[in-house]
């Protein structure tokens, strides 16, 4: 099905992406649109020749294109991607086996559509093309029984926020932080006082369902994520002691006093990034730090990698833990991920956490490379309720201390 919008000399058709005929045009739109412009510096994203790569690993996905149809040659002027999945949106009240209060809380699942990769050529903006693309995507979400639609954008992307909050009735929902750490030319030391375990996917799945099942945005198909070839492993750290864990039940029955867990996702296989618009002085300072590091590597100077040419990165997800040394264990795991990224030829390691994430102090990052406020907006796709209070309406819920960021949506 197509949706057509008329302009002065041409029409714009919104339709599903067709790889054979649309690939070149869709790539051109992505290439001409920078991501998160801020203060003259922009982040260019190269999808490595696969316009579907950011949604292809999701259980249900769709890509739309907006195409001009007029006297001149047809041209793709806008693209949009979306996916639908089942996620946690809250938890039930704690109850025991008799139905009285006092037992453990269980997760509340919902189907949600996620909007990402909205791009419109600069020459065709302010014409309602983005609005048409999003409305068509919302129709697809509804046809797949999605109850909510949500999206994420940088707080400085005023045009995107205005489109979703003013014209599409989305509301600002959560403001997580994107934390980015550069990958240095030398490995970071890992202390012998901490034990590092690589968990089998089945163990990791059970642990995550135990730890995060009631955390917002936790994907019900976590097993598919952990078994995806892009997931490079799940790692658990705890202070070294003689106990060797053989199963999740064994771990939960005799847990160490402190421990932490995280998984590593290979985003560099999907896309590459590049910083543009950076002042020559800052580029020179970064180059100098690398030059000095090469001359005196034994000093382990924290040099700035070359982020002004295409680079890849690893994404850390499923960060959690317990105990008084949990932050220290998270820091150990982040160091291990840094060394993995170094061996994989990446230049950054990144993660995204809730604004009040309790373990954030254990995550090393550089403030100048990070985004302190990533705005997530949400919309309820069910019937309109006006001012009536809706029981169970996720859009009106109080944020928790943590969120689970799906690496497939990064």
CATH number, domain containing residue 136: 3.40.630.30
313/184 same-domain check = yes
pLDDT digit string (tens) for 378-391? Answer: 999 975 444 444 44
pLDDT digit string (tens) for 66-124? Answer: 999 876 678 999 999 999 999 999 888 765 555 444 456 789 999 999 999 999 999 89
What's the domain range around 314? 180-369
352/215 same-domain check = yes
Task: Judge whether 403 lies within some domain.
Answer: no
The alpha helices in 115-273, defined as continuous H runs, are 129-143, 158-162, 201-212, 222-226, 248-253
* C-beta of residue 378 within 8 angstroms of C-beta of residue 171: yes
50/187 same-domain check = no
Polymer length in residues for the chain: 410
Instruction: Kindly report which listed range (31-35, 227-231, 260-264) carries the lowest average pLDDT score.
Output: 31-35
362/381 same-domain check = no
299/354 same-domain check = yes
Q: DSSP label at 347?
A: S
296 torsion bin: left (phi>0), alpha (psi -120 to 50), beta (else): beta
Round to whole Å and give the CA distance between 246 and 62: 41
Round to whole Å and give the CA distance between 92 and 101: 11
Task: Judge whether 409 lies within some domain.
Answer: no
Round to whole Å and give the CA distance between 365 and 155: 19
Residue 346 CB-half CA count within 13 A: 27
Give the containing element (helix H, strand E) for 294: helix 280-295
Task: Judge whether 404 lies within some domain.
Answer: no
Q: How many domains does the chain have?
A: 2
* C-beta of residue 259 within 8 angstroms of C-beta of residue 251: no
139/257 same-domain check = no
Task: Judge whether 184 lies within some domain.
Answer: yes
203/348 same-domain check = yes
10/143 same-domain check = yes
In terms of Cβ atoms closer than 10 Å to its own Cβ (0-12, 13-18, 19+), residue 284 is exposed
21/167 same-domain check = yes
Task: Judge whether 9 lies within some domain.
Answer: yes
Give backbone dihedrals phi and psi of 394, rounded to 5 degrees, phi first. Answer: -60, -30
140/208 same-domain check = no
115/191 same-domain check = no
Task: Judge whether 230 lies within some domain.
Answer: yes
Task: Judge whether 410 lies within some domain.
Answer: no
Task: Judge whether 405 lies within some domain.
Answer: no
127/203 same-domain check = no
The helix/strand/coil state of 343 is helix
pLDDT digit string (tens) for 288-342? Answer: 999 999 899 888 888 899 999 999 999 999 999 999 999 999 999 999 999 999 9
* Whether the model pTM is above 0.75: yes
């Amino acid at each position: 099905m197509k949706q057509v919008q008329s302009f002065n000399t041409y029409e714009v058709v919104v339709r599903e992406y067709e790889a054979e005929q649309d690939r070149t045009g869709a790539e051109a739109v992505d290439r001409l649109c920078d991501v998160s412009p801020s203060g003259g510096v922009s982040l260019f994203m190269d999808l490595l020749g696969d316009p579907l790569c950011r949604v292809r690993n999701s259980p249900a996905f769709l890509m739309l294109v907006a195409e001009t149809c007029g006297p001149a040659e047809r041209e793709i002027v806008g693209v949009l991607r979306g996916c639908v999945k089942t996620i946690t949106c809250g938890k039930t009240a704690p109850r025991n086996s008799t139905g009285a209060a006092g037992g453990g809380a269980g997760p509340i699942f919902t189907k949600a559509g996620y909007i990402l990769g909205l791009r419109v050529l600069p020459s065709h903006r302010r014409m309602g093309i983005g609005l048409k693309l999003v409305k068509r995507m919302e129709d697809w979400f509804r046809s797949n029984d999605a109850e909510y639609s949500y999206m994420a954008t940088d707080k400085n992307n005023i045009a995107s926020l205005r489109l979703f909050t003013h014209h599409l009735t989305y509301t600002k929902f959560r403001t997580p932080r994107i934390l980015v750490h550069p990958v240095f030319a030398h490995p970071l030391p890992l202390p012998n006082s901490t034990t590092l375990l690589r968990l089998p996917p089945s163990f990791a799945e059970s642990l995550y369902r135990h730890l995060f099942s009631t955390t917002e945005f936790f994907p019900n198909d976590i097993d598919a994520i952990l078994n995806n070839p892009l997931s490079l492993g799940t790692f658990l750290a705890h202070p070294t002691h003689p106990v060797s864990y053989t199963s999740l039940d064994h771990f939960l029955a005799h847990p160490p006093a402190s421990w932490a867990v995280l998984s590593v996702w290979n985003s560099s296989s999907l896309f590459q990034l590049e910083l543009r618009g950076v002042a020559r002085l800052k580029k020179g300072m970064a180059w100098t730090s690398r030059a000095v590091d090469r001359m005196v590597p034994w000093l382990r100077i924290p040099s700035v990698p070359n982020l002004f040419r295409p680079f890849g990165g690893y994404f850390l997800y499923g960060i959690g833990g317990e105990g008084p040394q949990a932050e220290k264990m998270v820091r150990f795991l982040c160091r291990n991920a840094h060394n993995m990224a170094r061996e994989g030829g990446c230049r950054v390691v990144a993660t995204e956490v809730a604004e009040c994430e309790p373990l954030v102090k254990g995550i090393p990052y550089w403030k100048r490379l990070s985004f302190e406020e990533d705005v997530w907006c949400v919309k309820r796709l069910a019937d309109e309720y006006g001012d009536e209070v809706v029981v169970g309406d996720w859009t009106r819920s109080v944020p928790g201390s943590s969120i689970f960021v799906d690496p497939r949506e990064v």
